[in-house]
Structure 1
């Protein structure tokens, strides 16, 4: 398998650099041995498949400790400021992942005021997309990994994780240990230099918040304004944050159950959250022996429930589907139920979080230390299987390939700090399950940033999703430099149907949107947002 792509565009401006010794710093803070990388000339051309953007290639060392050795390429894109007279610099953007392609991300900012005053620059991080890719050999194991595994099935998760790591080791070569957040941050600084900018501004989503915090830690004097949307906790391991995601899944379920219980006259599922849960447990028990209403087994139910309790806009439709599933069990089923639920389940499966690159995800997540004792994973998996399996929480606690990391880290993770760059913003939704809300709070506290909270909303990636409050607040900061309050709230776009609680005198509005239509809209938005 070919590991590296050695492109031509943009390479001519980089001379082969000498090796050896501790790098001497030039007056601008750039080590002398890296000077040629920072001074390379970029060759811009229209992006092949991205309308409105121009693309170029930046060359960087594979190993920054040996800049005279192997080199790799980083693909970048640009949407230039539409008001050149008012231009205030570059806004570098990242969609998360790890492993998300960022070349198309500048188009997300095209209709925003920031697009007038910033050149918005996207990039495929090292290992990803049009940059020199990192690949893994695909695992051929097909062992059952249900959402509620038996004791005999728990080792299936371990065997699969080990096989994934083995495939990554075979295909990744030396490059794999250099696909790291530290090195991507270093690549960002080379991009800054190649663009001729003294400072960059930064906007990162999801894992991109960790990357932005890393850049600010390593290059604090080169960062100006920054926004971290749907943030990670810089003080926890990746595995610890997976546990936070499981708690966020349960939070959404509990919120849905309370909302539905307050509307028993509408949905007839019970007047307490416990009664709502009992109804789902009854469906789960039936699925252990036979399909029910378009759901083939209990894993389907757990997938179904995780998606439709996360997004408030589909709460009402999901409650109605649960009612019809129970009616089906009791002999009063809707003949269209199976067809409808099959469509809803397929939409839920399309929404599942998955790695966005064949090798970068499995390399970058291994920067953190993971438990090596499988009994630790099995303990947590049993606990969540028995207490709250809805939303496939068990998969968040299972061992990953990083439990069997096949390479030695070249550098430790640094302690994230903010020293010489300005106060920024963190934006986070209360019901986000990809990066749990407490993680955003921790990021804001660690960096002493201002926090914009979006209560009762399950969206991941708030800016650019249609929320006027978030967009206007972030735009005012990025364009005019005006910070909001240190802690503030914005209404999101993910709202439950306007159905009155039991006993209210207000009548429910007529003609609520169809749940399949709503779910289709959510999934399409997820698939086209560019956020990972």
Structure 2
């Protein structure tokens, strides 16, 4: 699909009207129109919601800095609030900070789905006997998207969001725009550079999507990333058996973890306690500073299960690991995630998913790994996007930065390595870290300083920079004790 400015004259000449925000005094808000379908711009129009915080030093102002996190599709991101997270920083001195809710999300024209009830209780290790019912539940979820999503569903793609970004740039009066993207925002920023490279200035891609993976591969990689964190934690705990009492060596520690999981399944109502436990192991193993907490938790759970005290086990697990809350059946819910993930291919054969679910259930029980393998709405073929996602290539724009933690459980590190290589950008790698979304959102001052220097002064670090992440707990290994 080509970019034809002559057919977009209405959209490219509209006036931006900024108004004070009712929910944050630091923000100005505006709405613009963009075409639902860029191939037919005279057709239906949708709205995009924007936000702005002006540069603090207008004499040094070097342009606009657009930002996006969350995803896929911007799902769960900060959207118009994101500029507030950059306010008062060095880039704020010289950039207008621009936020937006991508098409389908937030205060922009939303793509929605009807909420549908699930018939299968959430289980991190579901038996084969419920696989068909899980598929049936996902089919109902998909049908809710069909009924409520309308035509916007198939037009909610990363490429269309990149085109929307270009409309935003033009209406801001900028020849080039700078961009910071976290998570899904890395894909959008990289694709904008591929499609509109002549109009991209400085760019930072933090917690990167892999440039070549489809969405199914991206989801599946999360299970492996979580498992790598768990294995590192088990190795560390296994070197400190005198402190934790969970076994000498990683293998014995993992046996203790599995013993706790089995005990929780035996005293709980169904699989709920074991499922919560699997989630906790995945979550806390990513946070190096909480490794001691995870080891102690397993010890306390052993006491509770040994006494058959399900209530105590429930108290210990409460609030440790959460899945997003559901929506009551019959209501409407955000469905941009379901829409944008249809832009890449998914198998239609459910047996492929069942095969992978068995594998993931066995190898990746922690952090809800099996969910990354189960059927998704895109498997049913009811949403045919207007285009498949274009390839990520390096466009004609300045060298940017890629930032990544090596243990990111949501965007697996190989994706960032591949993105940096593909685009020729330096890689800032935070080592021994399970952080996700680092720059200005993760509290890493060294990363913040390097990225600030790039965005403000154009200073590029060496091709690969490794920085330490959050320290592990200062518990001596058994080998260091007399």
1:96 deviation in Å?
2.5
1:185-232: per-residue Cα shift (whole Å, max 9, x none)?
A: 111100011111111000001011101111111101000110000000
**Match among 243, 256, 260 for residue 279 of structure 1:** 256
Correspondence 1:491-510 to 2 at 5 A: 491-492=468-469, 494-504=470-480
Correspondence 1:92-111 to 2 at 5 A: 92-97=66-71, 98=73, 99=75, 100-111=77-88
**Match among 122, 144, 159 for residue 121 of structure 2:** 144
Residues 128/222 of structure 1: CA separation in 2 closer, same or farther (3 Å cut): same
Q: What does residue 59 of structure 2 align with?
A: 85
Q: What SS does the corresponding residue of 2:161 show, helix, strand or coil?
A: helix
**Match among 416, 436, 445 for residue 468 of structure 1:** 445
Q: What SS does the corresponding residue of 1:144 show, helix, strand or coil?
A: coil
Tell whether the 8 Å contact from 1:145 to 1:157 is kept in structure 2 after alignment: no
Does the alignment pair 1:345 with 2:318?
Answer: yes
**Match among 149, 161, 167 for residue 138 of structure 2:** 161
Q: What does residue 13 of structure 2 align with?
A: 39
Q: What does residue 228 of structure 2 align with?
A: 251
**Match among 331, 346, 359 for residue 335 of structure 2:** 359
Q: What does residue 193 of structure 2 align with?
A: 216
1:289 deviation in Å?
2.1
1:343 deviation in Å?
5.2
1:351 deviation in Å?
7.6
Question: Gaps (5+ residues) in structure 2?
Answer: none
Q: What SS does the corresponding residue of 1:297 show, helix, strand or coil?
A: helix
> 2: distance between equivalents of 1:169 and 1:281?
41
> 2: distance between equivalents of 1:200 and 1:124?
17
Residues 308/258 of structure 1: CA separation in 2 closer, same or farther (3 Å cut): same
Give the TM-score taking structure 2 as reference length.
0.93
Q: What does residue 109 of structure 2 align with?
A: 132
1:36 deviation in Å?
2.6
1:409-463: per-residue Cα shift (whole Å, max 9, x none)?
A: 2112211101201111110111111111111111111111111111111111001
> 1: distance between equivalents of 2:311 and 2:280?
13
**Match among 244, 251, 261 for residue 238 of structure 2:** 261
1:454-497: per-residue Cα shift (whole Å, max 9, x none)?
A: 111111100112111100000000000011011111222x3321
Tell whether the 8 Å contact from 2:305 to 2:313 is kept in structure 1 after alignment: no
Q: What does residue 367 of structure 2 align with?
A: 391
1:240-282: per-residue Cα shift (whole Å, max 9, x none)?
A: 1112111101001001001101111111111111100111111
Q: What does residue 461 of structure 2 align with?
A: 484
> 2: distance between equivalents of 1:93 and 1:52?
16
1:341 deviation in Å?
5.6
> 2: distance between equivalents of 1:342 and 1:312?
23
1:386 deviation in Å?
2.0
RMSD, aligned CA: 2.3
Tell whether the 8 Å contact from 1:129 to 1:357 is kept in structure 2 after alignment: no
> 1: distance between equivalents of 2:25 and 2:233?
40
Q: What does residue 69 of structure 1 align with?
A: 43
Tell whether the 8 Å contact from 1:93 to 1:121 is kept in structure 2 after alignment: yes
Q: What SS does the corresponding residue of 1:85 show, helix, strand or coil?
A: coil
1:505 deviation in Å?
5.5
Q: What SS does the corresponding residue of 1:74 show, helix, strand or coil?
A: strand
Q: What does residue 277 of structure 2 align with?
A: 301
Does the alignment pair 1:416 with 2:385?
Answer: no
**Match among 409, 413, 417 for residue 437 of structure 1:** 413
> 2: distance between equivalents of 1:338 and 1:306?
22
Q: What does residue 53 of structure 1 align with?
A: 27
Q: What does residue 522 of structure 1 align with?
A: none
Residue-pair matches, total: 473
Residues 149/350 of structure 1: CA separation in 2 closer, same or farther (3 Å cut): closer
Residues 84/346 of structure 1: CA separation in 2 closer, same or farther (3 Å cut): same
Tell whether the 8 Å contact from 1:304 to 1:345 is kept in structure 2 after alignment: no
1:346-368: per-residue Cα shift (whole Å, max 9, x none)?
A: 231158999x9612111001101
> 1: distance between equivalents of 2:203 and 2:230?
33
Give the TM-score taking structure 1 as reference length.
0.85
> 2: distance between equivalents of 1:167 and 1:245?
26
Q: What SS does the corresponding residue of 1:346 show, helix, strand or coil?
A: coil
**Match among 82, 91, 94 for residue 117 of structure 1:** 94
1:398 deviation in Å?
0.8
Residues 399/183 of structure 1: CA separation in 2 closer, same or farther (3 Å cut): same
> 2: distance between equivalents of 1:430 and 1:242?
17
1:405 deviation in Å?
2.9
Q: What SS does the corresponding residue of 2:190 show, helix, strand or coil?
A: helix
Q: What SS does the corresponding residue of 1:288 show, helix, strand or coil?
A: helix
Tell whether the 8 Å contact from 1:165 to 1:405 is kept in structure 2 after alignment: no
Does the alignment pair 1:375 with 2:377?
Answer: no
Tell whether the 8 Å contact from 1:145 to 1:153 is kept in structure 2 after alignment: no
Does the alignment pair 1:455 with 2:431?
Answer: yes
Tell whether the 8 Å contact from 1:34 to 1:67 is kept in structure 2 after alignment: yes
